[in-house]
Amino acid sequence: MTEQKSAFVVSADWLEQRLNDPSVKILDAAWYLPAQKRDPKAEYAAGHIPGAVFYDQDAIADLTSGLPHTIPSPQSFAESLGKLGISETDTIVVYDGPGIFTAPRVWWLLRTMGAQSVFVLDGGIDGWKAERRPVTTDVPQPAPATFHPKFNAEAVTSFAQMRDIVATGSRQIADARGAARFTGEEAEPRAGMRSGHMPGARSLPSGVFSTGGKLKSLDALRETIKAAGIDLDKPVVTSCGSGVTAAIIMLALQSLGHTDNTLYDGSWSEWGSRADTPVVTGKE
């Protein structure tokens, strides 16, 4: 019996068969932590999937917030995507380097801004290259498009809302940071931040949802989430370091048909850097 996979993920075979389909648009959304010592722009220039345009997660953001990767305004997002030749009606495939790492953030953001047909490439470009699939150094010059945003504000949790959730327990909190950062045993990579987690949060490190850069089966995703103490019949808010890998939990939840979920965009970059927010350490 074949294991059932997420409807939001496509295989390398699926994408390779559609490289010449003008209705399929491809975004290289690779982004890395400093410790990974990888340069996404340099890697894109050295070889990317044919037709892919580079989506800069540092630039397509609200640069006035003082926080990394903050969601841009719908108008700003629409302008950026339009310049990349992307419309909200396109079929859009997003990939990153290792697979199921930073692409889910752009998958989630596109859907939050009104795009309907958005997918993540299983295995990322690392898997694509390992299988000797076609790559190119040619940089596409897409014709400008019009992206009509339809922003779903309910998909995003603000700081004020997060403070209320922590105080009242109105939503389950799923934290995608590594387990040692969650417990406080490991220092945060950004200076000036406290270690630990929000009271009541559950640890769901982003890496537990994939194997070899490919999203796990629906049954495995369900078991992983349940094992962390998250009830799939109740609302969930996701968080991480800067709002990127929290979207991996969103991908897993929505793949399972869970609809009452939201992402805390400020995440630990905001919560952990303030002096007036409650922080606890340890596994609970």
Output the DSSP codes for 16-79: HTTTT-TTEEEEE-----GGG---HHHHHHH-B-TT-EE--TTTSS-TTSSSTTPPPPHHHHHH
User: Distance between CA atoms of 275 and 29, rounded to whole angstroms?
Assistant: 33
pLDDT tens column, 137-178 = 999 999 999 999 999 999 999 999 999 999 999 999 999 999
What DSSP string describes 178-199? -HHHHHTSS--SSTT---SB-T
* pLDDT attached to residue 283: 85
pTM of this prediction exceeds 0.95 = yes
State the amino acid at position 86 in one-letter form: I
Helical H segments across 113-168, by residue range:
124-130, 159-168
- The Cα 18–Cα 24 span in angstroms is 7
9-151 sits in which CATH class? alpha beta
Domain boundaries for CATH 3.40.250.10 within the chain: 9-151, 154-271
DSSP state, residue 92? E
Q: What is the helix (H) or strand (E) element at residue 201, kind and residue range?
A: strand 201-203
Which active-site residues does the annotation give? 240
Q: Is 256 helix (H, G, I), strand (E, B) or coil?
A: coil
**CATH of segment(s) 154-271:** 3.40.250.10
Cβ-proximal residues to 173 (8 Å cutoff; 6+ apart), any chain: 165, 166, 198, 200, 201, 202, 236, 237, 238, 239
- What single letter denotes the amino acid at residue 103? A
185: Cα separation from own chain's centroid? 25
pLDDT at 284: 77
d(Cα 198, Cα 248) in Å, to the nearest integer? 19
pLDDT, position 1: 59
The ranges of the chain with pLDDT < 50 are: none
